[in-house]
Structure 1
Amino acid sequence: MPVHAQSPRAASSSSAASAGFSEKALRRIDDHLQRVYVGPGKLAGTQTLVYRRGQIAYRSSLGHADRERNVPIKDDTIFRIYSMTKPITSVALMMLFEEGRVQLDDPVAKYIPEWANLGVFQAGVAPAFLTKPPARPMQVVDLLRHTSGLTYGFQSRTNVDAAYREKGIGAFEKAGTLDSWIADLARIPLEFSPGEAWNYSVSTDVVGYIVQKISGMPFEQFVKQRILDPLGMADTDFYVPTAKAHRLAACYSADGKGGMQLSDDPTTSSFLAPPDLISGGGGLVSTIDDYLTFCCALLNGGELDGVRLLGPKTLKLMTTNHLPGNRDLTEMSRSMFSEATNAGIGFGLGFAVNMNPAQTLLPGSVGEYYWGGAASTAFWIDPAEELITIFMTQLLPSSAYPIRRELRTLVYGAMTESNV
């Protein structure tokens, strides 16, 4: 059943107790982040928001958005959310699904004819690949759940992802256009037959391309007109306009020695201009309040403040495990990297899904869904507990520190009342 989430613009910060938390225990979040990460210089700054039962139970900002210029993190700081773009892109496609304009079992070649003869890698290096036909054609559902056979170049695992790196497909520094990516991918084989395995990939970028093809409008225009503007997410976009440039956080890279170095200066960042490549897999910037608005619409069964993105049954379909045989990621993943740990975790249509909290070795709920971004941002939605947690920071890679796991323990450990 949908939870009747209150709009973040109407919700006020409440006492922790009224949201079912211990205020003292919630303060452990900042204590931990300051002691372990911000104080020692592992992270420049952090922003954390915990929303429950229609109220903001906890929010905090620590440290700097831009350490070099001594700019503190503020409520309106703009962050690169990278792969937290993926749920928004997935919702965009499912809006078209509800309109009867696409089906989950449609062959992808229906929308990308040049992919009709994509083979599966057997041997060789680009451009002289030896391939075999896939066991079945790639379907739209394979793109949404990352069982497409596509990959990311940074996996650095096979000759296929080496070909991605050579073409710049899926790189952080976006090169080319969606059209050029699609053309290049037509000449690179799949890593495996669709549906055979799970591999984190550029699949969601392809979802954005399909949204563009079906809707007849540029993908970024569809997202703005159908999702961002109706929800009032005014600070979420594929670039930061000049008037807001001072609010963009710096992005850092872990140096492997417990420190960090500047990797994307906010005064010269490529995010300051409209990109040629509109990445549905990782192109958006946002604020913590904007992303909370999106999450509230999901928690509320697809609707917020009279704006309905999806029906509750569609959202339920998206947040159910779609891995073949109801397997989890430990059984299906070939990925060297993902934004999720694997045990007890399945994958839906744009989200990781908690199937078995005991196997994750973390507190949580069956049916909780989530994802994160490359710069260590994260969110999760727990419908059973009427809970949303969002974490913002800017450190590459997201695997540098176990912040997400620690944050789950801290948030759930602060609960004084459980709904289940």
Structure 2
Amino acid sequence: MSAKMLGFDPERLTRIDDWMVRNREGGRYHGSSLLVLRGGEEVHASFDGMMSVNRGLPFQRDTIVRIYSMTKIVTSVVLGMLVERGLVHLEAPVSAFLPSFGEARRLVPGAERDDQTEPCAVPSLAQLLTHSSGLTYSFNPGLAARIYEREKVDFGPRMGVLADMCDRAAAQPLAFRPGTKWEYSIGIDVIGRVIEVITGQPLDRVFREMVFDPLGMVDTAFSVPASKVGRFADCYQKTDEDPRALLDPGDDSSFSEARVTMFSGGGGLCSTLDDYARFGEMLRRGGELGGERLLSPSTLAFMRRNFLSGDIASMGAESFMEMPMAGMGFGIGGAVLLDPALARMPGSVGDFGWGGMASTYFWTDPVKDLTVVFLTQLVPSSSYPSRVELKALVHGALIG
């Protein structure tokens, strides 16, 4: 079916291609790819530039990239599947599964030392999923983040194993009393370990059996095998000295199959354009794709609701955020657009999606029946306003 028949202006869609070229020629990214689907039909696909400058390899449809925090929604879907089976409920304290979290303490307001703490409630699984648990990341502002940095609370691919790192995280004070603020965090990494405890299986096997195999996601995993390294992109980093400095070469990567020890439910997966689009389509279609049902429509609608008391901005957020905070809520594992005007970003109320540290991004739109996936490889994702620009481009081409 043509783009025009799917409600898009073909000429306006070429603006997306021009934008991707400008990103490359202007020094933002070495390469990128994009896929737009409407009602499951391909509207537009675009591939530009290089996935590896050193190896002379172009960015293509089957290029494998690090999706980092786009892993979070996969982890959240798996937990939702376990909720549907009656194996867990969202208000359960994390200590019911991980006893090391049993004696929670939080930093007192204005704390200047890590011993300035007081007892508090143990975070619930819902709070971990929605970044309102008091956990944090080492790159956030504040004392708790500095403690994480010092104690090496890091779920990187070569940072040991998930169980041990969760115990290390549990030994650190929470940044705030659970449920009172929003701070981007390792919460969904901890959920990954909860999933392992519930299922009795390592997270990579759980993901493969419960999500990847049913959806036909053949190139999505926590590592890249040697047979696929030729399709694995280099990752770059924006620095003061070089806007596209090589960070992690695809042919000698921390994500190579022989090196990965950590199954990070918050940021460990690698994937491709079509693989992740299949996952996005499952979300858009209410939990089913190709006759394989992962979640009921009711459960998925529940997960896509805003679980915060207001938008993220109203929760006193000071941490890193890959999307606007005003007009944006947070559901189970992903951001929910509450008010496009407040967010200063075109979209439909109920848009649901998230991005990754290497500037990747996806969203599904239940109103316009859209699934959009954008892939590139530049850290950090806050380097450029690409996500807001992309949403404007896609909605600017949508005419019916």
Report the secondary structure of 2:144's partner residue.
helix
CA contact 2:364–2:372 (8 Å) conserved in 1: yes
- The TM-score normalised by the length of structure 2 is 0.96
Could you give the per-residue CA deviations for residues 173-232 of structure 1, whole angstroms, max 9, x where no partner exists? 641221211221222110011101111000010010000000111111111111001111
Partner of 1:8: none
User: Is 1:24 the counterpart of 2:6 in the alignment?
Assistant: no
Partner of 1:415: 398
**How many Å separate the matches in 1 of 2:125 and 2:167?**
18
User: Is 1:178 the counterpart of 2:162 in the alignment?
Assistant: yes
Q: Which amino acid aligns with 1:332?
A: M
**How many Å separate the matches in 1 of 2:209 and 2:225?**
18
Partner of 2:199: 215
User: Is 1:151 the counterpart of 2:155 in the alignment?
Assistant: no
Among candidates 243, 255, 259, match of residue 227 of structure 2 = 243
**How many Å separate the matches in 2 of 1:288 and 1:217?**
28
Among candidates 58, 61, 75, match of residue 72 of structure 1 = 58
What fraction of aligned residue pairs are identical, expressed as a percent?
42
CA contact 1:377–1:394 (8 Å) conserved in 2: yes
Partner of 1:53: 39
User: Is 1:226 the counterpart of 2:210 in the alignment?
Assistant: yes
Partner of 2:353: 370
Partner of 1:11: none
**How many Å separate the matches in 2 of 1:100 and 1:280?**
21
CA contact 2:156–2:268 (8 Å) conserved in 1: no
**How many Å separate the matches in 2 of 1:31 and 1:257?**
27
Among candidates 143, 149, 152, match of residue 165 of structure 1 = 149
Q: Which amino acid aligns with 1:154?
A: F
CA contact 1:168–1:174 (8 Å) conserved in 2: no
Report the secondary structure of 2:251's partner residue.
coil
- The TM-score normalised by the length of structure 1 is 0.92
Partner of 1:113: 99
**How many Å separate the matches in 2 of 1:371 and 1:172?**
19
Q: Which amino acid aligns with 1:334?
A: A
- Uncovered stretches (5+) of structure 1, i.e. residues with no partner: 1-13
Report the secondary structure of 1:62's partner residue.
strand
How much does 1:74 deviate? 1.2
Q: Which amino acid aligns with 2:223?
A: Y
Partner of 1:6: none
- Uncovered stretches (5+) of structure 2, i.e. residues with no partner: none
How much does 1:55 deviate? 0.7
Partner of 1:321: 306
Q: Which amino acid aligns with 1:19?
A: L
CA contact 1:82–1:374 (8 Å) conserved in 2: yes
Q: 1:367-406 alignment to 2 at 5 Å?
A: 367-406=350-389
Among candidates 180, 192, 195, match of residue 176 of structure 2 = 192
How much does 1:124 deviate? 5.2
Q: 1:248-287 alignment to 2 at 5 Å?
A: 248-256=232-240, 259-274=243-258, 275-287=260-272
Aligned in 2, Cα 1:281/1:173: closer, same or farther, shift over 3 Å? same
CA contact 1:109–1:115 (8 Å) conserved in 2: yes
Aligned in 2, Cα 1:99/1:322: closer, same or farther, shift over 3 Å? same
